[in-house]
Amino acid sequence: MLIIANSLSIHIKNALEQAFPEAASKAHESGSTLDPQLVPASKPEFGDFQVNGALQLAKPLKTSPRSIALAIIEQLQKNKEFLSLCKSPEIAGPGFINLTLKEECLQAEISKQLEDERLGVQSLKSSSTHKERSTVVIDFSSPNIAKEMHVGHLRSTIIGDSIARVLEFRGHKVLRLNHVGDWGTQFGMLIAHLKTVAPEALITADAVELGDLVKFYRQAKQRFDEDIIFQQTSREEVIKLQNGNSKSLKAWKLICDQSRKEFEQIYNRLDIHLEERGESFYNPYLKKVIDDLKDSNLLIVDDGAKCVFLEDITGKDGEALPMIVQKQDGGFNYATTDLAAIRYRFSAIPNGDGAGRVIYVTDAGQANHFAGVFQIAKRAKWIPNEGCLEHVPFGLVQGENGKKLKTRSGETVRLRDLLDEAVDRAETDLRLRLKQEGRIESEAFIKHVANTVGIAAVKYADLSQNRITNYQFSFNKMLALQGNTAPYLLYALVRIAGIARKGGNLQTTIASLKFNEPQEWSLIRELLKFDKVIDEVEEELLPNRLCTYLFELSQIFNRFYDQVPVLKAVEPSRSSRLALCRLTADTLKLGMNLLGIPTLERM
RNA sequence: GGGCCUGUAGCUCAGCGGAUUAGAGCAUCUGACUACGGAUCAGAGGGUCGGGAGUUCGAAUCUCUCCAGGCUCGCCA
């Protein structure tokens, strides 16, 4: 319904300018315009849209808001095009104008949406502006090699995937990058340690499991912290690796392969796909970063380390905070890698990704780090004029006690175990329900439903929360069958599928739709909001807005379903209601698809 | 101490500068199953939007200040 809203906005703006020509031309001279402030109605009883502009214009126009509103309405009454869309506008309260769309208009819109595969959401593919067509890089998930994916990776992975899906659907060219931690000091430690405890792992594929690697990694870390000689050998191993020693590289590759296999299992379960491009990828570009910074006179050697001092960001002592890009020992650190990544991503193809927008989905704790890195990238002039660089932060995952989520024994929770538990719990619930209802279902059905519900619940619980705040993780809440949860949304779809099974042909094309119940109209109005919601998610990168919408749509549908018969209705109501069922199902499916959540016909 | 984030119903959270009455969900209480799956629906109670000041015709929303909590602040990522 964005097109309608835009067209209304233009009509009202014209009316405003016709009513107050002098003020309008004055505004034009100073480079601005009179803004009618058309927004969706704040409450259903106020209609579909409201115009707020009259209140703000009262002072400059030296008239009362109500008389401005009246003048706008007088102009609108002359506009045939406007009158074909809207019922007679009403002045309310101190000077709001309430607009209610005509039923013919809503009906025409819903008919269009029924025919449209994209459900009214415009695609940018036809657009030609450079900014809109350039690549969007989304950096998310980013686990570390030789470690298991744990609950800390959950939010980045799920939120990043959803943002990627929304932008892809809108027609952006999206590069989903997995910036895995596959380089740096930890590999020196690990290789040095493996040489003594499991040398076969360095020359043979599959010699050790990831679980063992994780154990070895912990041991190596401990040795590194306690043993000075081991620290020395570790550093030597890092240097060998970074200099491209073939044996070291082979060992490194084997370790990475082993981790990668494990990551793939998780990504497959979550149905998330991204392109791996780890920190090691940027190794050849690190030196250039230093050279560039030197050339732009940003580089300062302090205490033996090469740094860039940040502007307007101070440390404990109130002095400008340095960002170290090359350590005393000549090694590079993560700031260097991140800078190299930004430089590469914005560089033109084939020496870069040619990105116009780069998005980082990482925890809020890294906000300072990214603020610094972004600032340096800007000062080094690596970001093109139209380029956009954003950190999309999210809060911690907490347990129900409000503390950081841990297992009973105090360890970080493995992502694999977390997903297993969600699926197990979904299965237990399902079996209990089947027993209570006396239903018999195949094992395959039970496993499939439990898996879908479990994964959907985990994803939805995360996405439905505003990502900026900390997130309280609770299996009980996310798997609850009522409330703003995945199972509630899935159930709405199952009900529609049930109607189809009972003989309702959802695919019939309807020549003449006929609606007369308020429940039908409120469902129609909700369905027509979909394009606006997608627009907002794209703009604000807040998937919870989409979740809220889908939940409200499900509620409105359930009300409709409860209060209005579909299959037993007489024509043309029957077909018209079936059409609404179909569009509701399509909207829920598409919406959930954009969240990365699978759906079901039966559960 | 500096920076960033958070503070809204008993709990978990939405909330886009707009309207008498700040919204959901959970929990609590009361109703509704011979219409398509009751995993639902209808309704009730529950709030000084952390405190204070300011900007504005209008503030949960913007600004300042104070209070509380979290994260972060030089060679880990």
Partnered with residue A99 across adjacent β-strands are A49
**pLDDT given at position A545:** 92
How large is the average pLDDT for residues A214-231? Answer: 86
| A93 CA → B20 C1’, Å | 10
Q: Quick check: A124 and A132 in contact, CB under 8 A? A: yes
Region A186-190 average pLDDT: 86
Task: Tell how strand A355-363 and strand A388-394 pair up.
Answer: parallel
Residues A451 and A550 in one domain: no
What is the arithmetic mean of pLDDT over A231-238?
Answer: 85
Q: Which nucleotide C1' is nearest A560 CA? A: B41
Q: A434 lies in which domain range? A: 395-480
Query: Band of the pLDDT at A436, cuts 50, 70, 90?
Result: confident
pLDDT at A130: 52
CA closest to C1' of B13 belongs to: A465
Amino acid identity at A150: H
Q: List the single protein residue with the shortest CA to C1' distance from B37.
A: A495
Nucleotide nearest to A504 (CA to C1'): B36
Q: Which nucleotide is nearest to A479 (CA to C1')?
A: B39
Strand arrangement of the beta sheet that strand A96-99 belongs to:
A38-40, A49-51, A96-99, A90-92
Straight-line distance from CA A459 to C1' B10, in Å? 27
Rounded CA–C1' distance between A376 and B43, in angstroms: 59
Quote the mean pLDDT of chain A.
90
Taking the C1' atom of every nucleotide in all shown strands and the CA of A481, the nearest one is B39
- For the CA of A51 and the C1' of B62, the distance in angstroms is 21
First to last CA, chain A: 33
Which nucleotide is nearest, taking the CA of residue A602 and each C1'? B37
Rounded, the Å distance between the CA of A279 and C1' of B53 is: 50
Task: Give a yes or no: residue A436 inside a domain.
Answer: yes
Q: Provide, in whole angstroms, the distance separating residue A528's CA from nucleotide B29's C1'.
A: 36
Closest nucleotide to A485, Cα to C1': B25
Give dist(CA A152, CA A129) in Å, integer: 38
Provide the pLDDT confidence category of residue A548 given band limits of 50, 70 and 90. Answer: very high
Q: Do A477 and A485 contact (CB within 8 A), yes or no?
A: yes
State whether A468 and A545 are in the same domain: no
Nucleotide nearest to A601 (CA to C1'): B37
Give the distance, in angstroms, between residue A369 CA and nucleotide B5 C1'. Answer: 14
Q: What is the pLDDT of residue A31?
A: 73
Burial label, A470 (beta-carbon count in 10 A; 0-12, 13-18, 19+) = middle
Domain match, A434 and A490 both: no
The neighbouring-strand residues paired with A144 are: A181
Q: Which residue is nearest to nucleotide B16 (CA to C1')?
A: A39
- For residue A178, is it within any domain? no
Same domain, A61 and A50: yes
pLDDT at position A241: 85
Number of domains in chain A: 4
| Domain presence at residue A118 | no
Minimum-distance residue to B7 (CA–C1')? A469
Per-residue model confidence (pLDDT) at position A237: 87
Q: Select from A512, A527, A514 the least CA-distant residue to A581.
A: A527
Spatial distance from the CA of A560 to the C1' of B29 (Å):
26
Nearest nt to the CA of A490 via C1' is B39
Q: How confident is the model at residue A407 (pLDDT cuts 50, 70, 90)?
A: confident
Nucleotide whose C1' lies closest to the alpha carbon of residue A400: B12
Residues A466 and A498 in one domain: no
Do A31 and A72 sit in the same domain of this protein?
yes
Report the nearest residue to nucleotide B77, CA vs C1'.
A334
Residues A490 and A504 in one domain: yes
Q: Which of A243, A272, A301 is the last residue of a domain?
A: A272
Helices within A380-442 (DSSP H only): 415-437
Q: Collapse the DSSP code of A331 into the 3-class scheme (helix H, G, I; strand E, B; otherwise coil) and give the result.
A: coil
Report which listed range, A22-31, A125-134, A409-418, A548-557, is most confident.
Answer: A548-557
SS3 A158: helix
Domain-embedded: residue A374: no
Give the end of a domain, one of A228, A247, A272.
Answer: A272
Which residue is the nearest neighbor of B26, CA to C1'? Answer: A483
Residue A283 lies in a domain: no
pLDDT value for A498:
93
Taking 90 as the threshold, does the pLDDT of residue A354 lie above it?
A: yes
Q: How far is the CA of A533 from the C1' of B36 (A)?
A: 29
Which pLDDT score, from 0 to 100, does residue A121 have?
Answer: 93
Interatomic distance A339 CA / B77 C1' (Å): 14
* Domain shared by A410 and A502, yes or no: no
Measured CA to C1', the nucleotide nearest A39 is B16
**Residue that is last in its domain, among A446, A480, A514:** A480
Segment A3-27 shows an average pLDDT of 88
Same domain, A473 and A537: no
Q: Give the model's pLDDT for residue A129.
A: 58
Neighbours of A44 (CB within 10 A): 11
Range name among A123-137, A149-163, A255-269 with the lowest pLDDT average = A123-137
Which residue, among A377, A415, A370, has the nearest Cα to A392 in the 3D structure? A370
pLDDT category at A213 given cuts 50, 70, 90 is confident
Give pLDDT, residue A131.
Answer: 53
Q: Answer yes or no: is A145 within a domain.
A: no
Q: From the CA of A520, how many Å to the C1' of B27? A: 32
**pLDDT for the residue numbered A133:** 67
Nucleotides on strand B lying under 7 Å from protein C-beta: 1-7, 12-20, 24-27, 35-42, 56-58, 70-77
- The CA distance from A322 to A319, in Å, is 9
User: In this structure, are A508 and A585 located in the same domain?
Assistant: yes
A222/A262 same-domain check: yes
* CATH number, domain containing residue A83: 3.30.1360.70
Which single residue has its CA nearest the C1' atom of nucleotide B1?
A316
| Gap from A14 CA to B63 C1', Å | 34
pLDDT tops 80 at residue A30: no
Residue A426 confidence (pLDDT):
95
Among residues A350, A381, A345, A378, the alpha carbon closest in space to that of A360 is found at A345
CA A38 – C1' B32 distance (Å)?
40
Nearest nucleotide to A559 (CA to C1') is: B41
More confident residue, A241 or A326: A326
Residue type, A104: E
Across all strands, nucleotide nearest A437 (CA–C1'): B37
Q: Which residue is nearest to nucleotide B6 (CA to C1')?
A: A469
How long is the CA A563 to C1' B9 vector, in angstroms?
30
A207 with A264, same domain: the answer is: yes
- Give the single-character DSSP code of A560: H
pLDDT of A132 reads 56
Of A84 and A511, more confident:
A84
What is the spatial distance between Cα A301 and Cα A328, in angstroms, rounded to a whole number? 9
Looking at residues A142-156, what average pLDDT do you find? 90
Residue-wise pLDDT for A469-509, tens only, equals 888 899 999 999 889 999 999 999 999 999 999 877 777 66
Residues A376-400 pLDDT 10s: 999 999 999 889 999 999 998 988 8
User: CA A5, C1' B19: Å apart?
Assistant: 21
Q: Considering the domain boundaries, does residue A452 fall inside one?
A: yes
User: Across residues A88-95, what is the average pLDDT?
Assistant: 87
pLDDT of residue A126 exceeding 70, the answer is: no
Length A151 CA → B17 C1' (Å) = 38
Average of per-residue pLDDT across A37-63: 86
Nearest protein residue to the C1' atom of B71, measured from CA: A365
Task: Give the model's confidence band at A207: pLDDT under 50 very low, under 70 low, under 90 confident, else very high.
Answer: confident
Give domain status of residue A304, yes or no: no
Identify nearest nucleotide to residue A47 by CA to C1′ distance: B19
Predicted local confidence at residue A562, as pLDDT: 93
